[in-house]
Structure 1
Amino acid sequence: MRQTILAVLSLSTMTALLTGCGGDMVLLNSKGPVAQGQSDLMMTAIYLMLLVVIPSIIMALWFGWKYRASNKGADYKPTWTHSTAIEIVVWGIPVIIIGILAWLTWWGSHKYDPYRPLEADKAPLTVQVIAEQFKWIFVYPEQEIATINEIRFPLDTPVALRITSNFTMNSFFIPSLGGQIYAMAGMQTHLNLLATEASPAEGYRGFSSNYSGYGFSQMRFRAHAVTDDQFAQWVSAVKAGNGTSVNPNAVQKTVLDQAEFATLRDGNRGKHQIEALIAKANTPEEKAAAEAMKPYPTKPHPVTYYSSVEQGLFESVINNYMSNYHGADHSAAAGHEATSEAHADVEHATASQGE
């Protein structure tokens, strides 16, 4: 009994720690209709399954007590083989619950389809999202600005996110506003979100929920839901080169074009990988190549604002991986493609030296 009590207390302590010691359970504390609907679906499914789980636990404990060896008053039926009532209960109730869950799944997958535009009185704000190596880049094609590791949008305005990746697969996730969706090179995924509550001063948490390498833990950003006036002021400040007046911790730059975009890839290998390559180098050239490599970041890239952005940058990232298809002209991405090829050559040249 003592061991059982200790085990229960240990599990309770671990549960409290994993939920932030009773803090904000973000998936159950939604700030928008999409996240709220998904949370309601999840809790409804849990409640339905508990209709089987709780009675099963109670009956298991009760049967063990009722038919214990010391209870001489319990019925003893060694020839018992069948009960129609029990069969109806143990099969009928789960079948009904599974049927309800199946209907909820079908309904919810259509209602909260990430590609489905949200109904609202305001026109949606389009934001193009690029998963770069261990950072998130946000392009506002209508406002003609761009940011790194920060996204801002007005309250009660649908946000139409168009998402891709410029390296390995990642997963874009703002838990307070909706579910995650993958960012994949050469592809475009859609996610529609809406915030009904203003974000705290530090913004809602956003991150990549798909492991993508040594710098994966640094792929964090903040999502700020603000008023229409605050959003307009922020856009004006960024376009005027004065975005730090809104966020003093940000870095203000001029234009995000192909040349600037090519410089945003952080590092070549993990620190320990580079050290291993240097130790295993067989020639001075190999050692010099390894020493020239930059390690992956250990801190998130600082929030950066760009007062303008090259037109078609988002499309060029997708086309860079689709250059062999559709006969499209990808000359606009030639500079970035050359940089990517040079990076790939370095990776290929050092890969044979071992990780």
Structure 2
Amino acid sequence: MAIETETEPVEYVYYHQGGIPGRRPVIRGGKGHETFNEIPLVDVTNITSPSFEARKAVADKVAKACTEVGFFYAQNHDVPQEIIDEIFAAIKEFFAQPHESKMEVHIHKKIGFRGFEPLFETKLDAKTRGDMKESFLMGPDKSDPDQELPFPPLTDQPSVNNWPPDNQRFRIAVTKYYNHLQRFSKLLTRTFALALGLEETFFDSMCTFPAGYVRPLHYPPQEVSGGEEPGIAAHTDFACFTVLCQGDVGGLEVLNKNGIWIAAPPIPRTFVVNIADFVQHITNGRFQSTVHRVINKTGEERYSIPFFYAFDDDAELEVLPSCREEGKEYEKVRVGEYIAHRFKVSRTKHPDKAQVVNV
């Protein structure tokens, strides 16, 4: 005779990790894994200290955050507030334009995915209409004299960025911010090297012309009780790491090991830094590329500016010797090819001819 037992219904969180669909069971109460319930804060003042011990102390805190969470707030960074204020003012002005004006620089008008994307253009969660946000993407450009290039600008080449022709304020503000974030991110690569027990300059040879992208985002107000329609669906980032500047409206959430969403609210004068897929790959999972999403339930406009930092397009990434398991084979990943693949995963409407430009 069969005995009927009552079982708890299983609830899952669905996401894309490394561009591949996945799911995680939601575990509530005292039965779950040991995991985080807040995002740690790391004071990064000393990442440029002349004292090795001071730099190493920051790196140790970063290592702990990246191992246990994959996210941390970077407090006391050196990007001037006026640069941040300028770009936020410029992107608010840009996104406030009529839809037709923004569509003049749509990403399909140039190869390389540079330019404007309207609401619902990207889609990771098949159950939704798409991501409820609009964005603009710019990145490295060998022809741009305003970018801090490691060589003279190749002014005989056409620009690969897709700038609004009549909005110089926007182009200047975004480019200035891009230059500052490139410098800050290069400093972070040395902190990450120390955090992994490597020489500080270990990653320098992969960062001669790194693939960094600024992507201003605008999330329109949703109904406060508007359910789970995502501003950006649950995912991991595709580069080495992301440096996010949040406005004053929240919505970012990070998934812990128990399938619980942990809020990462804005904190003044901080960046949110998260590990992305390249660093998870080379550390064999020691540093976690953690699933996150944005849902704007505030009823207010939300603006944020992520900077995605990757190594040189032609760099080949493999698992670090100190992170390998004996007898196991590891594939190499070429940076430019993987970025091109990840751009296409969530862009179901892009034309087949679209490609990421090897700039």
Structure 1-normalised TM-score?
A: 0.26
Higher helix share: 1
Taking CA–CA contacts closer than 8 Å with sequence separation of 6 or more, which of the two structures ends up with the larger relative contact order? 2
